[in-house]
Chains A and B, each alone.
Chain A
């Protein structure tokens, strides 16, 4: 009699269901994950937990952290600049993500065919993403949208005088949204990769059945690329909440003009490295994590309604 036979039947059944259809998934799983686990523990989890601890302290970088409990978190809610940074960031996310994704998908679909010049066009549209994250392009962008520059002159020629987007608190965030949308090359490339994986025979069959272009797009393309759309959506949302370089270059630590570009991470950075208030900055970071985490969980939950994985039969 083997040991297995002496175990009560429900335990045996439970064991069988937690194992994959193939034996030894547990060991294999952890083996494949081992570099990641090592990295997480040493490089990420440790610092993450440290920053969580710091969020409950008053830490001015050079001395020792001093425990103050929930003080930082309480202070945040009555901090007008914090509230402002939330508004600025939320506005940006709500504007930038849908526009950027829609534009990226549109361009990807535009390029997803067998016409010539594919490589060139793809690389060309991707160009802005290559330099978009850099300081120099942020400076250029600010100049292009400044008083008396191209955009200003164009608008004035049709009677709209904004005084320069970069100096106008109502237009500074849209200016940065455009900078984000301009870098549509990155999600576009991912969309293209996803589009390429859609089996062509599905399209052929639909065409034979007389489906219009739009119908084909809606019923075949979108569902088939939904995992990729979901990926892009989640990542763009997470990135949008964390935008830093362009905001910092354009707005500086004060979020000029008049605090209209005081993004959450910029304010966080200024509190930590400018005011030497690392405890408060850590608390801000964990609030961000909480907020974005909730948004992400929400996205994952709603994903079940529209994301279709052809590889997950069960």
Chain B
């Protein structure tokens, strides 16, 4: 009796152990691979992502994808911490402005080593080089946009101002701002010196660049002073939305609150504006430039990168390739990530309303686009913030133009020089 019970107990323990060990499974290549995939966005994007992930998993049953997502700012705080702690996800959504921030610090995987798993032949013209840094590829675009001009044609008409047309000059633009404000009571636009993408536009139209190939500023103090002075003059003339107002309506945009007649900005934000604004909005040619070149370029609005420390680069590359190329994915997302980056996805995406307008806009204007510039240098993110901050202090008349220029160049020396 005793012996049987004893044996029974041993057998039970052995069975449990065996079950436990079996449950561990193999960690060899034959087992399923789990990838962690993080992105930024709201709940709506998360739903679309999940659909795309489900599609991927059904076509790749031996790869499991664990998603994680936050809103934009929180995403980067978390990403910085995870990467610093050595725990970055396998696949991460990447922003053009942060690409070098992460690549130059060795946080990203060189995708040129995964060419066999990564299909990049179908990328839109202008996007092929995006994501390359110093000969290595650190990111793949999954969405594209461009800096454009969104406006309310009714207000232009009401003010008797000619609608934006190809080749209209910056002087024309400033005159329009003034006239619309005077004649309709609605401000003609926002003060464009608040964003350095407008400076970039002007520089490109002059044949220059915002950042040079070797990561320095592509303009000098005098040029910046000229730019800032334009904004100060506009503010003094009262042609643009006052800075106090702009500050108080954040995180909303003036255009979506019908406070201005038009503004320069990312073209894919039109969908956002259109959803909220009461006025009917249209996309038009940016001021400056001529029939041959507008100064615009196709920007990778969103990219995918791999973490340097990923344990499954092959599977991760397959996921990225899928997200970029698969037409079903294009259909799922529409223009949620910016416009689809490959021809196949663009064809498959059934865009409607404002987003169709954005696609049409890019198609119409692309003949005038210039080459996509190299990824902004490390520290570009902080410089962009510094620019916004300094322009704001300038418009609040806390500092003069010369001091503003000094401050920016000091920041730039410190950030880019190191």
Contact = CB atoms under 8 A, between A and B. Distances in A.
Contacts of A255: 389
A98 interface: no
B385 interface: yes
Interface in B69-109: 76-77, 80, 83-84, 101-102, 105-107
B247 A167 contact: yes
Contact of B415 (A252, A270, A275): A275
Nearest to A152: B248
Given A62-B106, A62-B107, A273-B76, A257 B379 contact: no
A112 to B, nearest CB: 40
**Most chain A beta-carbon contacts within 10 A, residue among B77, B247, B388:** B247
B5 interface: no
Interface in B198-241: none
Contacts of A164: 244-245, 248
Contacts of A274: 381-382, 385
Interface stretch (B116-124, B125-133, B391-399): B391-399
A254 B105 contact: no
A278 B396 CA distance: 30
Interface in A138-167: 142, 146-147, 163-164, 166-167
B389 A259 contact: yes
B250 A252 contact: yes
Contact of A166 (B247, B382, B389, B396): B247
A166 B248 contact: yes
A83 to B, nearest CB: 14
Contacts of A60: 105
A276 B101 contact: yes
A274 B392 CA distance: 19
A71 to B, nearest CB: 12
> Interface on chain B toward A: helix, strand, loop, or mixed SS?
helix
Nearest to B108: A62
A254 B388 contact: yes
Contact of B80 (A61, A169, A252): A61
B382 A146 contact: no
Contact of A257 (B80, B101, B105, B392): B392
Contact of A254 (B77, B80, B389): B389
A168 interface: yes
A168 B385 contact: no
Nearest to A63: B105
A252 B388 CA distance: 11
B392 A258 contact: yes
A62 B102 contact: yes
Interface string A251-286: 011111111000000000010011110100000000
B138 to A, nearest CB: 13
Interface size band for B: 20 to 34
Contact of A258 (B76, B102, B385, B396): B396
Contacts of B248: 142, 146-147, 164, 166-167
B123 to A, nearest CB: 28
A251 B385 CA distance: 13
Contacts of A278: 84
Nearest to A162: B244
Contacts of A275: 379, 382, 415
B411 to A, nearest CB: 10
Given A61-B80, A273-B76, A257 B106 contact: no
**Most chain B beta-carbon contacts within 10 A, residue among A166, A168, A258, A270:** A258
Contacts of A169: 396, 398
Contacts of A61: 80, 83-84, 105
Contacts of A168: 244
B396 A273 contact: no
A61 to B, nearest CB: 4
A254 B194 CA distance: 13
Interface string B247-271: 1111000000000000000000000
Contacts of A257: 243-244, 247, 392, 396
Contacts of A258: 392-393, 396, 398
A254 B385 contact: yes
A167 to B, nearest CB: 3
**Most chain A beta-carbon contacts within 10 A, residue among B244, B245, B396, B415:** B244
Contacts of B101: 276
B384 to A, nearest CB: 10
A146 B257 CA distance: 15
**Most chain A beta-carbon contacts within 10 A, residue among B106, B379, B396, B415:** B396
A254 B249 CA distance: 16
Contacts of A63: 105-106
Nearest to A168: B244
A167 B393 CA distance: 12
A164 B248 CA distance: 8
A256 B250 CA distance: 11
A146 B248 CA distance: 6
Given A62-B102, A62-B107, A275-B415, A167 B244 contact: yes
Nearest to B73: A253
23 contacts: A60-B105, A61-B80, A61-B83, A62-B106, A142-B248, A164-B245, A167-B245, A168-B244, A169-B398, A253-B385, A254-B385, A254-B388, A254-B389, A256-B247, A256-B389, A257-B243, A257-B392, A257-B396, A258-B392, A273-B76, A273-B77, A273-B80, A278-B84
Given A253-B385, A256-B250, 13 more contacts: A62-B84, A62-B107, A142-B248, A146-B249, A147-B245, A167-B244, A256-B389, A258-B393, A259-B389, A273-B76, A274-B381, A275-B379, A275-B382
Counting from the closest, the 10 A-B pairs by CB-CB distance are A167-B244, A62-B105, A254-B389, A258-B396, A146-B248, A167-B248, A61-B84, A275-B382, A167-B247, A257-B247
Interface of A: 60-63, 142, 146-147, 163-164, 166-169, 252-259, 270, 273-276, 278
